[in-house]
Chain A
Amino acid sequence: MRYSRVSSVGEALTAMERPGAILYAGGTDLMVALTRDRAPSPGELVDIKGVQAARGIRDDGARLRVGALVTAAELANDPLVSSFASALRDAAAATAAPMLQARATVGGNIATPHPAPDVAASLLTLSATVCVATGPDAVERLAVEDALIRGGLGRLESGGASPAMILAVEVPKATRSAFGKLGTRGAFSRSTLAAGVSILDDACRVVLCGDTARPFVAESVGAALSRGNHLCDSIAADLQAAITSDGSGTVPNRARLRLIAGLVRATAERAGAREGDR
């Protein structure tokens, strides 16, 4: 297996046209897949960490632009992210342990959201858009949910009709948002249950993950939260709909529904939800 470095989007897309080439950034999933033989060994690892267009966090007015190569550690410590995308900061800070946070990238979590989709779930909470480079100057924009529904963009990158690379995410600024998760071990665990809450234009948006294959927007839960209603029935209904759509998972028992409700309420409180939010 070869290893190569590229420093521009054009070089990355050209490299992907070589047989067996696969993009490589943090490697937190890819290296595991390769060394454990869960994935066929590619002919070439194309290291994209030198692509400047996919780096950095900047204020674009109504949105933040977060480069696909930004790491969880960078997200967790960035003042812009803290101010305008707290859910993203929370998720990044809760992602694994420091050495993995230093490597795991935003783009990687969208392309390979399993088994720890915390960052992807927080981006869904914040209604982010994924920018995918399909040419040196051509960018396609996808809603995060579309990217996740398409099974992650890894498929698009490696098997699509034409090469493509996740370049960045655009995150609408939200001064009220939070992300919380529960796991078996406080310091470093894959979430067994996670919830993101954002309030934009006084509307609550709730995202749940842990009981379904992908994080999903729990619309009834958001509405029930705004009205101050009990959440368990809404959670059960939203989970049922998500499971039907996903084709996997089971609606949890009442005890777990209460646990999810508690997590949603606690996360909403941290996000700054208040009575009257829609």
Chain B
Amino acid sequence: MNGDGVVIEFTLNGKQVRSPGSSARRVLDVLRHELGLTGTKDGCGVGECGACAILVDGEPRLSCLLPVAEVAGLTVTTIESTDDEAVERVRSAFLQEGAFQCGFCTPGMILVASRIPAGASDDEVRAAISGNLCRCSGYAGIIRAVRRAGAGDPDAPGEHGGSA
């Protein structure tokens, strides 16, 4: 996609940034190739795997389907963020639960999980992360981590196991 001379400005992880490329360029490409933030993963590229998930004004969005012009003036949070308490809480829970294997899905998974309401059941967690594929099939640990982060009791009986 060629440049169109429009500079897009937005807030990225608390800092103001500018993207001078094409306004129709995918946010995913701007993050990874213009701004050097490679924590956001380029997975399927068609919106099915969730590895590219980011938060736009706090809402989970697929950066592979989003032209950068759509985030002009908005707040974008990626896995590199250090000032989002909910993201930090989930990240910490993932570490405590060892909720990753290869780690490719982890950035998107953590960002999406950070918006799951506290106390969500296993089924609600599964539904919320259903657009985030873990190819290692490590869902049991992921669900435990999400529930730990949400102050749900990860040792609650009868709710463990299964896949999303």
Contact = CB atoms under 8 A, between A and B. Distances in A.
Nearest to B22: A1
22 contacts: A2-B6, A3-B4, A3-B22, A28-B47, A31-B26, A31-B47, A31-B66, A34-B1, A34-B24, A41-B1, A45-B67, A47-B69, A96-B48, A96-B131, A98-B60, A98-B130, A99-B62, A99-B131, A102-B59, A103-B65, A187-B164, A188-B131
B46 interface: yes
A34 B2 CA distance: 13
B127 A98 contact: yes
Contacts of A36: 45-46
B146 interface: no
Interface in B43-102: 45-48, 50, 53, 59-62, 64-67, 69-70
Contacts of B127: 98, 187
Given A1-B22, A41-B1, A31 B61 contact: no
A98 B116 CA distance: 12
Given A45-B67, A47-B70, A2 B62 contact: no
A188 B69 contact: no
Contacts of B24: 1-3, 34, 45
Contacts of A31: 26, 47, 64-67
Contacts of B59: 102
A35 interface: yes
Contacts of A96: 47-48, 131
Given A1-B1, A2-B24, A102-B59, A35 B6 contact: no
B110 interface: no
A32 B66 CA distance: 10
Nearest to B8: A3
A163 interface: no
Contacts of A103: 61-62, 65
B120 interface: no
B69 A3 contact: yes
Interface residues of A, number: 23
A45 B62 CA distance: 18
Interface in B1-42: 1-2, 4, 6, 22-24, 26
A191 to B, nearest CB: 14
Contacts of B48: 96, 188
A102 B145 CA distance: 25
Contact of A100 (B4, B47, B112): B47
A251 B70 CA distance: 44
A181 to B, nearest CB: 15
Of B45, B67, B128, B132, most buried by chain A (CB within 10 Å of CB) is B67
B7 to A, nearest CB: 12
Most chain B CB atoms below 10 A, which of A24, A31, A97: A97
A97 B67 contact: no
B126 A35 contact: no
B45 A35 contact: yes
B62 A32 contact: no
A84 B24 CA distance: 38
